[in-house]
Amino acid sequence: MPSKHETFGMVYVEALKSGLPILMCKGTGINGFVEEKDYIFKVSYGDINAIKSALFELINEQVELKIKLNNDLNNGDYILFESEEIISSYQSVLVSLSNEV
């Protein structure tokens, strides 16, 4: 469910990596880290009608949404959230910084 003040929003990543569509507030959490996808519903905080509409679609289209998400997972769309990828990114930054010294 969308929350007003969300930092990075690891729960969204965990849901996506588990093959579950997500409902989040625009401009919070992982917004900006993920592309626009049919299975990612972004709503404005407090917009009851948008939340209701998104929940309705999540329930009624869950099979199709999960298939799309699983296809994207199999194609590596969310590899940036894999621990190996995160470690590699940190290592690259550290090497880059050490070369500047």
CA distances from 27 to 14, 17, 31, 33 (A): 19, 21, 6, 11
In a domain, 18, yes or no: yes
* C-alpha closest to that of 33 among 48, 51, 17: 17
In a domain, 21, yes or no: yes
Polymer length of the chain: 101
> What percent helix, strand, coil does the chain show, rounded to 5?
55, 10, 35
Please report the pLDDT score of residue 53 as a whole number.
97
In a domain, 90, yes or no: yes
In total, how many domains does the chain have?
1
Q: Torsion angle of alpha carbons 49, 69, 28, 9, nearest 10°?
A: 120
Please report the pLDDT score of residue 35 as a whole number.
82
Please report the pLDDT score of residue 66 as a whole number.
96
Please report the pLDDT score of residue 1 as a whole number.
63
In a domain, 1, yes or no: no
Please report the pLDDT score of residue 60 as a whole number.
97
**Taking the model in full, what pTM does it have?**
0.75
d(CA 59, CA 20) in angstroms, rounded, equals: 11
Q: Which residues of the chain are modeled with pLDDT < 50? A: none
